[in-house]
């Protein structure tokens, strides 16, 4: 049961989203073109990040989109997790109505929706393998309490994806919100009048003035989109967080970080001109720091992401370092899987199967989320990826195939030795497993 303070919060948020349901995207928009969003919405990705479990069948899996809004995130979850049961809840009846229509329009008639607050999730009488809480946690008054409420409906091996507004990245918007609060624009639900006043205010400011330059016209030209202003300058209950705030809330809710959702981009090494040539105190300090400390360092140096987007779960038994573990296993016990979102991404399939093409392919053109360029020559690409498009493969069979495709070195035509081919394939797997394109299974 919500307290009075919570009620006040809920009412303000509810009013805002009842009058302007979010996101304002046409129902017909398929939203499934963005392989990065699908990849991040996939239970397969989340579970593999959590404990290296490879999920191949989603039939008996249940996925909850908490605060689903008008269902854009729910539709992505449905596309990304075919066969799984999809449930969406939100406090805004208007948003739920649109979400339901959206999912039906795209053929997901089975998706279930309910008007429900996070505090009342136990009413669903169900636990979920994946919970998505996107663009909502920063609106609630007590983060640790909200996480506990979500954890109650999370399966023991399930994963919760959440995100928070970054205090450092959005600092200027918080200044704008404070100003508009002082001007009285946020006492009631901000609507057309308040939007008009905000627009007039910015129009009257000189262009170079800091607040205008950082929140209104910086690089985007003049902004004239109601929802954008409401979700930034006039956002009720919006609060900024830092990673230490998040880690403290995890402690209070007995949850643990699985990883950042765009983990490939949270790499402190990429912040330095010469990461292999750092002053000793810095290199040792960062190398030896735990993951949380490295992330906090990154956040302070480069707060470039609007969202602190994370996966978390119930505490895990201590994790072995998988990147070392699998390399120590006998190669005949290793099976290689292609992530289903990668496998089903049509432009990638076409690039692999198009035998006529000889130019190398940059994987990051297909999968920008890997965060760096990776050029692969066609022989390697075809020998390695083409069989994986059909099914998972034993490491040994990938090595055999590569040897057939490239029996000798092009320079002096000396034969490629099986061990050399195996080392090459294994180093490629290691790299692409870290980026998330490939998954490794070690069989007993």
Report the C-alpha gap between 360 and 252 in whole angstroms.
Answer: 49
Chain centre to alpha carbon of residue 204: 38
Q: How far is the CB of 133 from ligand SAM (least distance, A)?
A: 7
Q: How far is the CB of 120 from ligand SAM (least distance, A)?
A: 8
Q: How far is the CB of 17 from ligand SAM (least distance, A)?
A: 4
Q: Taking each helix axis as running N to C, give the angle between helix 395-405 and helix 378-390, from 0 to 180 degrees, rounded to the nearest 10.
A: 140
- Check if the beta carbon of residue 38 is closer than 8 Å to that of residue 105: no
Taking the least distance from each CB to ligand SAM, the nearer of 92 and 215 is: 92
Q: How far is the CB of 180 from ligand SAM (least distance, A)?
A: 18
Taking the least distance from each CB to ligand SAM, the nearer of 15 and 372 is: 15
Question: Pairing between strand 307-313 and 256-260?
Answer: antiparallel
* Residue 329 CB burial class (10 angstroms; 0-12, 13-18, ≥19): middle
- Compute how many other C-beta atoms are within 10 angstroms of the C-beta atom of residue 151: 17
CA nearest to 149, candidates 125, 129, 122, 131 = 122
Residues that bind ligand SAM (CB under 6 A): 10, 13, 17, 22-23, 67-69, 72-73, 90-92, 95, 117-118, 134-136, 139-140
Q: How far is the CB of 230 from ligand SAM (least distance, A)?
A: 10
- Check if the beta carbon of residue 10 is closer than 8 Å to that of residue 91: yes
DSSP summary character for residue 98: H
- Check if the beta carbon of residue 337 is closer than 8 Å to that of residue 438: yes
- Check if the beta carbon of residue 108 is closer than 8 Å to that of residue 169: no
Q: How far is the CB of 8 from ligand SAM (least distance, A)?
A: 12
Q: How far is the CB of 264 from ligand SAM (least distance, A)?
A: 22
Number of residue whose CB is nearest ligand SAM: 69
Q: Taking each helix axis as running N to C, give the angle between helix 243-253 and helix 143-151, from 0 to 180 degrees, rounded to the nearest 10.
A: 50
Taking the least distance from each CB to ligand SAM, the nearer of 72 and 312 is: 72
Taking the least distance from each CB to ligand SAM, the nearer of 23 and 360 is: 23
Taking the least distance from each CB to ligand SAM, the nearer of 70 and 313 is: 70
Report the C-alpha gap between 117 and 325 in whole angstroms.
Answer: 43
Report the C-alpha gap between 175 and 183 in whole angstroms.
Answer: 12
Taking the least distance from each CB to ligand SAM, the nearer of 40 and 401 is: 40
Q: Is the dihedral of CA 295, 63, 238, 37 positive or negative?
A: positive
Q: How far is the CB of 441 from ligand SAM (least distance, A)?
A: 32
Report residue 27 as tokens: 């129902």
Taking the least distance from each CB to ligand SAM, the nearer of 68 and 366 is: 68
Q: Is the dihedral of CA 9, 15, 16, 17 positive or negative?
A: positive
H-run or E-run covering 321 = none
Taking the least distance from each CB to ligand SAM, the nearer of 74 and 393 is: 74
CA nearest to 380, candidates 346, 352, 343, 420 = 352
Q: How far is the CB of 157 from ligand SAM (least distance, A)?
A: 24
Taking the least distance from each CB to ligand SAM, the nearer of 140 and 195 is: 140
């Amino acid at each position: 049961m919500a307290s009075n303070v919570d009620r006040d919060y809920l009412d303000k948020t509810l009013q805002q989203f009842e009058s302007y349901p979010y996101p304002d995207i046409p129902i017909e928009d398929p939203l499934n073109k963005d392989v990065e969003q699908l990849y991040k919405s996939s239970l397969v990705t989340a579970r593999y990040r959590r404990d290296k479990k490879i999920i191949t069948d989603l039939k008996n899996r249940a996925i909850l989109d908490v605060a689903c809004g008008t269902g854009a995130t729910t539709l992505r979850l449905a596309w990304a997790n075919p066969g799984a049961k999809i449930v969406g809840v939100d406090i805004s009846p208007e948003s739920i109505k649109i979400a339901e229509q959206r999912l039906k329009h795209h053929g997901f008639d089975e998706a279930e929706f309910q008007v429900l607050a996070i505090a009342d999730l136990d009413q669903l009488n169900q636990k979920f393998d994946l919970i998505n809480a996107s663009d909502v946690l920063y609106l609630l008054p007590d983060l640790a309490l909200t996480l506990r409420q979500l954890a109650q409906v999370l399966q023991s091996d399930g994963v919760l994806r959440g995100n928070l507004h970054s205090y450092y990245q959005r600092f200027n918007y918080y200044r704008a919100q404070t100003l508009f609060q002082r001007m009285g624009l946020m006492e009631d639900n901000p609507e057309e009048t308040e939007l008009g006043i905000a627009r007039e205010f910015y129009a009257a400011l000189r262009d170079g003035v800091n607040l205008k330059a950082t929140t209104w016209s910086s690089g985007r030209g003049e902004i004239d989109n109601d929802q954008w202003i409401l979700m930034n300058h006039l956002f009720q209950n919006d609060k900024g967080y830092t990673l230490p705030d998040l880690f403290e809330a995890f402690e209070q809710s007995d949850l643990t970080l699985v990883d950042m959702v765009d983990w490939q981009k949270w790499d402190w090494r990429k912040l330095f001109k010469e990461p292999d040539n750092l002053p000793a105190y810095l290199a040792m300090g960062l190398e030896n720091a735990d993951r949380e400390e490295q992330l906090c360092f990154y956040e302070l140096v480069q707060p470039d992401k609007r969202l602190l987007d994370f996966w978390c779960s119930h505490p895990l038994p201590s994790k072995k370092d998988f990147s070392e573990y699998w390399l120590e296993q006998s190669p005949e016990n290793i099976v290689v899987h292609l992530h289903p979102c990668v496998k089903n991404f049509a432009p990638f399939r076409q690039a692999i199967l198009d035998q006529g093409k000889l130019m190398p392919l940059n994987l990051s053109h297909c999968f920008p989320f890997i965060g760096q360029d990776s050029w692969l020559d066609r022989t390697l690409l075809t020998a390695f990826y083409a069989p994986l498009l059909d099914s998972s493969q034993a490491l040994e069979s990938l090595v055999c195939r590569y040897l057939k495709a490239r029996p000798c070195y092009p320079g002096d035509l000396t034969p490629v030795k099986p061990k050399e081919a195996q080392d090459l394939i294994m180093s490629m797997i290691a790299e692409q497993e870290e980026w998330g394109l490939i998954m490794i299974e070690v069989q007993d």
